[in-house]
Amino acid sequence: MSKTMLLCSGQGSQYEGMGKQLLALCPEAEAIYQCGSDITGMDLKQLCLEADAATLAQTKISQPAIFTTSLVALKAMEKAGFTFDGAAGHSLGEYAAMVASGMVSMEDGFRLIKERAACMQECAEHQSGSMCAILGLTPQQVEEGCTQVEGYVVPVNYNSPVQTVIAGETAAVDAAIAKFTEMGARRCVKLAVSAAFHSKLMQPAADAFYEKIKDVKFSAPKKDFYCNLTGELLTDVSDMPSYLAKHIVSPVRFTTELNNMQQAGYDTFVECGPGKVLTGLVKKTLSGVNSMNVEDEKTYQKAVEVLGL
């Protein structure tokens, strides 16, 4: 039986004007911007639709803005009759997926994102770190290469069989890039981020975040929810604040996630949110599945057509 997985975009996918065409298609999504603005204290509609790239690149802004746009895209699709059996996200995207799967209310989702973004921004301003995508080497080669350079650098995003992101101290990341180039990497692409996300250098953010969210209530997901930490179905929600704090300093095992989804019968993947990074990772990792993204009128209309809505 065919099963559909909702995927929610991660940090770095933001761009100017994101969500504008979707709001025109689904005016009901205005309530999402209003809810988020009331809770975060930021004008999220103005930021998503009008802010420049430099403004959107700030962690404290990009995280709530991407989260909002993912919910807007999902709202537009649900208005067209879209349903899904499971939800997942890449890093930041897990928060929109948690709302979509019924684990937290939209209001609590915005509260979580507000605190996460602030804690990570604060941490980034007090430590020097870098991230780099390594293309054309296997995850095992990247793991091995990281052990051969001085300083702290580790694989943090297992994105596809041929793309792994590393993070760590800037000097160590630069040394690793030289090592991977020597090993035959096709490309090494420095990411436009201000810190070494998903590494131990973010521990101060994880600790501060936990204290801010330890009393937030979570429910068991009403849909399958696949998580970044293990790449498997999340079944225990008894201590989600600890999980989400650990999530900030742990690798994203997205390739494992995708493989487990396919083995469970998922054959249609719909990415809701800005960009199409996750759609591309599905195509690089899995064969024999349908994958599409929804971020504007063109992609919305194509998804509606392909899904037969």
Catalytic residues: 91, 198
Q: Which residues pair with 41 in a beta bridge?
A: none
Cα torsion at 171, 202, 281, 294 (round to 10°)? -130
Where in the chain does DSSP place strands (E)?
3-8, 86-89, 130-135, 153-160, 163-168, 187-190, 224-225, 266-272, 290-294
**Tokens for 202?**
């973010």
Q: Within 10 A of 184 (CB to CB), how many other CB atoms are there?
A: 9
Q: Give, in degrees to the nearest 5, the angle at Cα 197 between 183 and 32.
A: 130
Amino acid identity for residue 309 in this structure: L
Given CA atoms 222, 236, 165, 194 in this order, what sign does their dihedral have?
Answer: positive
